[in-house]
Amino acid sequence: MSDTPHDHTAVLVDGCRLPFQRSGTGYADLMAYDMGRMVLRGLLTRTGLSPETLDRVVMGTVIQDVQTSNVAREAALAAGIPNDVPAFTVTMACISSNQALTSGVDLIRVGIADRIVAGGTETLSDPPVRVPRPVRKRLFEARKAQNAIDYLQLFDGLDPSDLIPEAPSIEEFSTGEVMGESADRLAAAFGVSRREQDEYALRSHRKAAAAREAGHLDADLYRTAVSPDFDPITTDNVIRDDTSLDKLRSLPPAFINPFGTVTAGNSSALTDGASATLVMSKEVAEGDGYTPEAALRSYTYVAQDPGTELLLGPAYAIPQVLDDAGLTLDDIGVIELHEAFAGQVLAVLEALQSDTFAEEQLGRNSAVGTVDLDTVNAWGGSLSLGHPFGATGTRLVTTAAHRLGVEDGRWGLVAACAAGGQGHAMLIERLP
Amino acid sequence: MPHTVSLTTNEFRLQLDDSGVATVWIDAPDASVNKISRDTLDGFSEVLGHLEQMNDLTGVLFISGKDASFVVGADLNMLAQAASPTDVRSISRRAHRLLWRIDTLGVPTVAAIEGPCMGGGLELTLGCTYRLASTHDATKLALPEVKLGLLPGGGGTQYLPRRIGVRVALTMIMTGKNIYPRKARDLGLVDALIHPPGLYGAGKRAVRQLANGTLSAPSKTSSLTNRLLEDNPLSRRIIYRQARRRAEDRTHRHYPAPPRIIDAVRTGLERDLDAGLDAEMQHFGELAFTPESQALVEIFFSKRVRETHAHAEDAQPVSTVGILGAGNMGGGIAQVTAAQDLDVVLKDQSFRQAAQGKKQVWSAFNRDLEKGILNRFERDRATERVAPTDTYAQMDHCDLIIEAVPEDLSLKRTVLSDIADVVADDAILASNTSSIPIAQIAEAVPHPERVLGMHYFSPVADVPLVEIIVTDQTSEAALATALDLVETQNKTAIVVEDGPGFYTTRILSIYLNEALLLLEEGADVPTVDQIMSDYGFPMGPFELLDFVGIDVASKITDVMSDHFPLAPEDISDSAARLADAGLLGQKTNIGFYHYGPSDNGSGKDRKDLNQNIYRNLGQTRRATPSPAIVQERLTLMMVNEAVRCLDDGVLRGPRDGDVGAVFGLGFPAYLGGPFRFIDQKGPSEVTKRMRDLAYQFGDRFSPTKLLIEHDHRKTAFHDYWSVHG
């Protein structure tokens, strides 16, 4: 997990994202491929990088479109990246673009690549709806049908209800539990109250709005305009400027009725968007005349029981990267922690400062430590900025790097949970 | 073992394989494309002689030995060298005879087409039993002779209607338009398609299968409606009449070929093939000697001659073009640049304006998608090349900048010196001004040697010309780079020296000034417009003023007026007065005419005349001079000024003057451009007419010095300058 002897340190040269849009709004008519193309073009334009010099394009996505199953490749080609630059798509639920980024980091560290674009793209406006299995089966058989009688026979035994299309499943495949139910349970397990969750959600929106007003988000954003009208899309539209604790408290539980604590207000919203980063080996970045923003240091992936600890991954991953770098939470100036649910964020923070959790789950003598909330998501998080599944990971890293610059910090910590009970953490160090 | 038959011609190679299939490779020596010349006809005759002698011949495949190019058409030098219509007719006769010999070989013949298959090349395939085309991007089929004032003289007027029906055939021959592979198959112009690597193999299989009967030669492909429409003389008569009317609407009878095309087709269908071929041959010979055809051939040659540049190797690579100003012009330049896989950063004052420029690009590519020219991915990729912005920060890596901001010297100076701070010291800086001297703009910029003018014309995607303007300081590298870019954009360049209005704007503004003087004398606006479009201009002068903007024209008059060779009283101030009254033309929906949204949704359509226009000029009575006088006054003012541009050294030669006027301003192509116009009429005749006009209408019609010199020497401009220029 440390640098290779010949110092192929992976560095973040630049990162950007499209303004995130609540699903069904600004990007409602786009495919994930469209947003991927747009953000890659944005990154190339911002950095002036000659795309011929790229070694690889890696992108994360969660809900795949069958037309573009390797969306990284289609987006890269459409962004004008030459045919001979390989591109691959990774999927790891909400940490897909973290996986995209670390795949690039690995290629750089072993000396296979020097210039990588890593990012992610996601539309939740247009989930792939399928016809039910009995119809699909008959459609497959229809390829062999020769005449009208063959076609008629295909209808044999078909129930009218078989014709109703199916939306993609939102339950965890292994447990049958919806993620919001898991979050509700997790909050309860760590004693996180409804009020704490609502207050945290409010904080997220306030922080995001303040950062937007201060212009901090501009450095992250590649403004865009989409066909056919090309009206500018220049800011994130998930941020609720008008929300209040009263409003949040008035919302009913979304998953566990009537006594659950997770609501639509303290959960992340369905969002469309894309993000991308330019990652290079330090030597080559400097040789090309770039001033890298941050070095990408230790990272890890963890996985737990998707039934009981679906969203607790960061509490396992964070101590691993801190230990690896010989750091403690006190050394960390900037934390970007994915906010799937307010209750999940607070449960993770609770776990980190729990001696019991440390002893029982991490095999440590004492708690990892108490997180200074001021260091966490100071420019808003997934609750307020939005959460396009496949694009969030590289947003976290880009924002962490930009925050290190503005806040004059040295170490940044990125962590996120993901469906399947998995999690990720990464340390970044501001350069120079 | 396949063996090669040795031939005396080197235009063809003839191979025979074990199954008795002969392959005729069309492969002109030392050339990247095949053209039909006298040598080709001789060689083809020799090849057919061999084939006619072969006893166990299964069939013949005709295929090109060139990379993605079948036959690009006739070698125009062959026609240029013909001494008389009889000479030209004999070429036609030989071609007819060769097609007849293919037909009487008595074995299946297959043409395997990849790349351009034009004119005589397509006629060759029409003589075959079966046509196979590859889906290569370069594959296209056309009979473009009409664009040169000719008709297809190698049997095209006869065999094409018999193959694809008279209606579609007439459209193809009368428009000369390209037909792409899928469309060609739908029309029955080709019988099957194949991917490029399979073409040769498929061609041989087609020959064998036609020979053994497993594949049958297509019968006359015709839908039921086509048969109903075309299989009786009465409805065919309607088709001929419609074709004639369409041609007249389009060409105002200035182009002699269309009626003769209809006559040849008609003779062949209503009498018989031999009579049709005779008619075709007769017309071909006569058309080749019309002044219109000769002017069209000349201007076609001139356009194709690449602007040669002694320092072409100094050109700097351009991968990203920055465009300042995302209006109509900026958006259009972005479109033609992005279409060629170059990246574009498109800046305007606000991100919204820049995004609207990108919208213009997307709309153009989306129309291509609707026409089936691009697929969705290709549209997306081309559109995404354009990155809109409102800041210079994202332009630092641009290799070449084109400013297309409003026509204002201080604004142009400001944006170019601002961008100069951002880009590399050797990035080329171009101004898309239509009139402001480049040297004045360059003064504000460090390293003025990299500054030049790149004058595009509206609508950018449709007008094929770019006028490149160099100053005394412009470096060879900057010029070479600009020429490269223009070629990449599929445009034709002329290079002119700096000066107010350069070349095109200078001759256009004096033309428009004359139109306004006519108006002030009492001429009727729609009548003058009609007269000039009848003469062959794409639109009349007042429509043109509305199109470019009356305020823009007025500004240009301001810039130009000190330099006009005109007495102050001969400079019209009507444009300024109308602009002051808020009549700006299309952009305000009112100028000389009213404008409204066009029926097809893109752009604006001309509606009624603005009846107040005369009152704005304080006039009541209308009296327009005769069409001949209107045409002469406007055209000769333009022609005379073009000669003055050559005399001043603004123009480097008559070729640039003709290309610039025809392809930039829509000067009627059948007249060949201002210099070809003088050469065809004779300098003496033009000088005399100008003196007559000067006597009648004032000294501004006095022939310019250089024109008088040519009159005295009795020299044509093109001949003289090709030797002395």
What pLDDT is attached to residue A432? 80
Q: For chain A, which domains are there?
A: 179-215+297-430 (3.40.47.10)
What pLDDT is attached to residue B600? 66
Question: Which structure tokens are listed for B288?
Answer: 């080749």
Query: Most A CBs within 10 Å: which of B320, B370, B384, as the mutation test of the A interface?
Result: B384
Measured between alpha carbons, how far is A373 from A290 in angstroms, rounded to an integer?
Answer: 33
Nearest CA-CA distance, residue B301 and chain A, Å = 35
Residue B366 in contact with partner chain A when CB distance is under 8 A:
yes
Residue B225 clears pLDDT 70, i.e. is over it: no
Q: Do A232 and B351 touch (CB under 8 A)?
A: yes
Query: Most B CBs within 10 Å: which of A16, A230, A234, A290, as the mutation test of the B interface?
Result: A230
Indicate the range of A132-141, A334-343, B235-244, B583-592 predicted with least confidence: A132-141
The pLDDT mean for chain B works out to 93
Which residues touch A12 (CB under 8 Å, ≥6 apart)? A277, A278, A279, A292, A293, A294, A295, A296, A397, A398, A401, A428
Indicate the range of A158-162, B10-14, B128-132, B311-315 predicted with least confidence: A158-162
Between A140 and A426, name the one with better pLDDT. A426
Chain B CA closest to residue A67 = B377
Contact by Cβ (8 Å): B637, B511: yes
Question: Which structure tokens are listed for B567?
Answer: 């007495």
Question: Which structure tokens are listed for B328?
Answer: 């109509």
Could you give the percent of chain B with pLDDT greater than 70? 97
Measured between alpha carbons, how far is B276 from B270 in angstroms, rounded to an integer?
Answer: 9
E-strand spans in B287-366? 320-324, 343-347
Cβ atoms within 10 Å of A218's Cβ, excluding its own: 13
Looking at the partner chain, which of A42, A74, A230 has a beta carbon nearest the beta carbon of B359?
A230
Q: How confident is the model at residue B725 (pLDDT cuts 50, 70, 90)?
A: low
Q: For the residues A301-305, what does the mean pLDDT come to?
A: 96
DSSP H helices, B128-223, are 156-164, 166-175, 181-187, 199-212
Q: How confident is the model at residue B598 (pLDDT cuts 50, 70, 90)?
A: confident
Summarize pLDDT for B428-454 with one digit per residue, the tens.
999 999 989 999 999 989 999 999 999
Contact by Cβ (8 Å): A413, A336: yes
Q: How confident is the model at residue B84 (pLDDT cuts 50, 70, 90)?
A: very high
CATH of B505-649+682-724, one of 1.10.1060.10, 1.10.10.10, 3.40.50.920, 1.10.1040.50: 1.10.1040.50
Q: For the residues B533-552, what does the mean pLDDT come to?
A: 93
Question: Which structure tokens are listed for B133?
Answer: 């085309």
Q: Do B362 and A227 touch (CB under 8 A)?
A: yes
Which uninterrupted H or E stretch holds A362? none
Residue A136 clears pLDDT 50, i.e. is over it: yes
Strands A56-60, A115-122: pairing kind: parallel
Cβ atoms within 10 Å of A146's Cβ, excluding its own: 7
Q: For the residues B119-129, what does the mean pLDDT come to?
A: 96
Indicate the range of A150-164, A385-399, B366-380, B459-473 predicted with least confidence: A150-164
Q: For the residues B394-420, what does the mean pLDDT come to?
A: 95
E-strand spans in B78-167? 109-113, 116-118, 130-134, 140-142
Q: For the residues B611-627, what does the mean pLDDT come to?
A: 83
Residue A5 clears pLDDT 60, i.e. is over it: no
Give the Å distances, CA to CA, from A227 to A38, A230, B302, B354, B362.
12, 5, 40, 14, 7
Q: For the residues B476-496, what does the mean pLDDT come to?
A: 95
Residue A4 clears pLDDT 70, i.e. is over it: no
Residue B328 clears pLDDT 50, i.e. is over it: yes
What pLDDT is attached to residue B203? 97
Q: How confident is the model at residue A141 (pLDDT cuts 50, 70, 90)?
A: confident
Contact by Cβ (8 Å): A414, A423: no
Q: Do B387 and A232 touch (CB under 8 A)?
A: no
Q: Which among A258, A235, A249 is positioned nearest to A184, based on CA atoms?
A: A258
Measured between alpha carbons, how far is A361 from A97 in angstroms, rounded to an integer?
Answer: 27
Chain B CA closest to residue A78 = B381
Outline which parts of chain B fall under CATH 3.90.226.10: 3-289
Identify residue B396 by its one-letter amino acid code: D
Residues of chain B with C-beta less than 8 angstroms from the C-beta of A48: 320, 396-397
Nearest CA-CA distance, residue A202 and chain B, Å = 31
Q: How confident is the model at residue A3 (pLDDT cuts 50, 70, 90)?
A: very low
What pLDDT is attached to residue A130? 81
Half-sphere exposure of residue A322: CA atoms within 13 angstroms, side-chain side: 22
Nearest CA-CA distance, residue A50 and chain B, Å = 9
What pLDDT is attached to residue B556? 87
Cβ-based burial of A6 (10 A; exposed 0-12, middle 13-18, buried ≥19) = exposed
Summarize pLDDT for A183-197 with one digit per residue, the tens.
999 999 999 999 999
- Residues of A contacting chain B (CB within 8 angstroms): 34, 37-38, 41-42, 44-46, 48, 50, 74, 77-80, 223, 225, 227-232, 234
The pLDDT mean for chain A works out to 94
Residue A238 clears pLDDT 70, i.e. is over it: yes
Measured between alpha carbons, how far is B212 from B206 in angstroms, rounded to an integer?
Answer: 10
- Tell me the backbone φ, ψ of residue A30, rounded to 5 degrees: -95, 155
Q: How confident is the model at residue B629 (pLDDT cuts 50, 70, 90)?
A: very high
Nearest CA-CA distance, residue A116 and chain B, Å = 20
Question: Which structure tokens are listed for B464?
Answer: 């094929």
Residue B218 clears pLDDT 80, i.e. is over it: no
Nearest CA-CA distance, residue A225 and chain B, Å = 6
Residue B310 clears pLDDT 90, i.e. is over it: no
Could you give the percent of chain B with pLDDT greater than 90? 81
Q: For the residues B153-165, what does the mean pLDDT come to?
A: 95
Summarize pLDDT for B58-79 with one digit per residue, the tens.
999 999 999 999 999 999 888 8
Measured between alpha carbons, how far is B141 from B136 in angstroms, rounded to an integer?
Answer: 12
Measured between alpha carbons, how far is B260 from A291 in angstroms, rounded to an integer?
Answer: 70
Which residues touch B724 (CB under 8 Å, ≥6 apart)? none
Measured between alpha carbons, how far is A288 from A14 in angstroms, rounded to an integer?
Answer: 13
Measured between alpha carbons, how far is B46 from B24 in angstroms, rounded to an integer?
Answer: 12
- CA B664, distance to chain mean position in Å, is 10
Residue B296 clears pLDDT 60, i.e. is over it: yes
Looking at the partner chain, which of B320, B352, B384 has a beta carbon nearest the beta carbon of A79?
B384
Residues of chain A with C-beta less than 8 angstroms from the C-beta of B396: 48
Q: How confident is the model at residue B602 (pLDDT cuts 50, 70, 90)?
A: low
Query: Most A CBs within 10 Å: which of B337, B392, B397, B602, as the mutation test of the A interface?
Result: B397
Q: For the residues A260-288, what does the mean pLDDT come to?
A: 96
- The residue behind tokens 């250089």 is B706
Of the residues B123, B407, B467, B497, only one is catalytic, namely: B467
Looking at the partner chain, which of B355, B362, B387 has a beta carbon nearest the beta carbon of A45?
B387
Measured between alpha carbons, how far is A230 from B150 in angstroms, rounded to an integer?
Answer: 46
Q: How confident is the model at residue A2 (pLDDT cuts 50, 70, 90)?
A: very low
Chain A CA closest to residue B358 = A230
Residues of chain B with C-beta less than 8 angstroms from the C-beta of A232: 351-352, 355
Measured between alpha carbons, how far is B572 from B556 in angstroms, rounded to an integer?
Answer: 12
Q: Do A231 and B345 touch (CB under 8 A)?
A: no
Eight-state DSSP code of residue B355: H
Between A88 and B306, name the one with better pLDDT. A88
CATH of B3-289, one of 3.30.920.30, 3.90.226.10, 1.10.3720.10, 3.30.870.10: 3.90.226.10
Give the Å distances, CA to CA, from A45 to A277, B318, B345.
12, 15, 8
Q: Which among A345, A321, A348 is positioned nearest to A428, based on CA atoms?
A: A321
Summarize pLDDT for A55-72 with one digit per residue, the tens.
999 999 999 999 999 999
What pLDDT is attached to residue B557? 87
Residue A80 clears pLDDT 90, i.e. is over it: yes
